[in-house]
Homo-oligomer: A and B are copies of this chain.
Amino acid sequence: MLLPELKLRRDKIRSLMAQQGIDAALITCNVNLIYTYGRVVSGYLYLPLHSPARLFVKRPNTIEGEHILPIRKPEQLPQLLEECGLPQPSRLMLEGDELSFTEYNRLAACFPQTEVLPCGTSLIRQARSVKTDLEVELFRRSGAAHIRAYQQIPSVFQRGMSDRDLSIEVERLMRKEGCLGIFRVFGQSMEIFMGSLLAGDNAAVPSPYDFALGGEGVDPSLPGGANGCLLGEGQTFMVDMGGNFFGYMCDMSRVFSIGPLCERAEQAHRVCLDVQEAVTAKARPGVTGEELYNTAIQLVTEAGFADYFMGVGQKARFVGHGIGLEINEAPVLAPRMKQELLPGMVFALEPKIVLPGIGPVGVENSWVVTADGVEKLTPCNEEIVVL
């Protein structure tokens, strides 16, 4: 990655550090290294407020360059800073929501004279929530690849397939279009394979994970997603795969039906499209996540589908979420979210309704906030595709 882009990102972090009187950051978690150095390494990016960043690398042993030094263990950091002519930090931030308790304490103990703060995660996530032009462009390209994969879904569907069989073919389509496969989520208890394909009543099964919909899964060690059920006539399924083509988690869901659907399902789907239209018509800089959530709930309630919106029984408490290097970033479109949209924020909006006996309907697209509205990053057919 080019240095001007990295400098832009580092300066966004620095500007937030300056507001809190923090004079250095020690960055070692993979997504934050991708953000600030452009790739994963095993090591530490040391980001001082007023000097160029230094990279201290354990692995791979082939990385060299200006301001890059090898390191074996974090206890060498103070000495290495001295060798770089850098002062020891006064107020140092670490990635407190990502580092384990043990690792955080080990790093903090390397700087006994320093005030160490755990706010690194929240501050870097704040910086990451507003994308650079290059990041938005990577999202656009991801959206195009994501669309190409989904457009081939009818060609791999066969009657008599299980949800799991079809999911495997869709995963392959995603991979063939360049998807890296790995699905990065913030928070240690959140996990999923490449995404989900939810069919019929399985879409209403609650899971332990905080995704929009759940699913039973096929094994108690991963209770989410497809459960092996047959894709039956008159039912729907929803494909919601993670679109990680260049590190960025593009998010997009589309609905398919086996044969024609009843009027009620068509109506529910229409309500979700209406929610999308109403929310995105309102979305612009200055609007809060809460306002957008309320817009969605009001419309769904008026249409009489509130009991089936975002799950049945156990419901997701959001209608959209920021996306970036992880699938769950700021902003969140949910109750009590007072954070205002800013230009460059990227979010997924996913109004979904689950109809008992039929399955899931609705839509999900990824959007970037522009100067005066939003731009769709995943533009393609949103009608239910009848198979």
Tell me if A21 is interfacial: C-beta within 8 Å of chain B: no
Q: Which residues of B contact A40 (CB under 8 A)?
A: 191, 208, 220-223
The reply to whether B222 and A314 contact each other, CB–CB distance below 8 Å, is: no
Query: Please, which residue of chain B has its CB at the minimum distance from the CB of A120?
Result: B101
Q: How often does this chain occur in the complex, in copies?
A: 2
CA distance A365 to B325 in the complex (A): 35
Tell me if A73 is interfacial: C-beta within 8 Å of chain B: no
Q: How many A residues face the partner with a CB closer than 8 A?
A: 64
Tell me if A175 is interfacial: C-beta within 8 Å of chain B: yes
The reply to whether B59 and A206 contact each other, CB–CB distance below 8 Å, is: yes
Tell me if A48 is interfacial: C-beta within 8 Å of chain B: no
CA distance A121 to B100 in the complex (A): 11
**Residues 265-310 (chain A) with a chain B CB within 8 angstroms:** none
Contact of A172 among B98, B121, B172 (CB under 8 A): B172
Q: Which residues of B contact A112 (CB under 8 A)?
A: none
The reply to whether B30 and A189 contact each other, CB–CB distance below 8 Å, is: yes
Given known contacts A61-B206, A208-B40, A210-B59, A34 and B221 CB-to-CB distance under 8 angstroms: yes
Tell me if A338 is interfacial: C-beta within 8 Å of chain B: no
Q: Taking each of A61, A176, A219, which has the highest tally of chain B beta carbons within 10 Å of its own beta carbon?
A: A219
A271 shortest CB reach to chain B, Å:
25
Q: Which residues of B contact A58 (CB under 8 A)?
A: 208
Tell me if A336 is interfacial: C-beta within 8 Å of chain B: no
Contact of A61 among B41, B62, B121, B313 (CB under 8 A): B313
Given known contacts A60-B207, A61-B313, A189-B28, A118 and B97 CB-to-CB distance under 8 angstroms: no
A238 shortest CB reach to chain B, Å:
19
Tell me if A157 is interfacial: C-beta within 8 Å of chain B: no
Give A26-39 as 1s and 0s: 1 = Cβ < 8 Å from B's Cβ atoms: 00111000100011
| A contacts, CB < 8 Å to B | 1, 28-30, 34, 38-43, 58-62, 94, 96-105, 118, 121, 168-169, 171-172, 175-176, 178, 180-182, 188-189, 191-194, 205-210, 214, 218-223, 245-247, 313-314, 325
**11 pairs, CB–CB < 8 Å, chain A vs chain B:** A30-B188, A30-B191, A38-B220, A39-B220, A42-B189, A58-B208, A61-B314, A99-B188, A100-B101, A101-B118, A219-B247
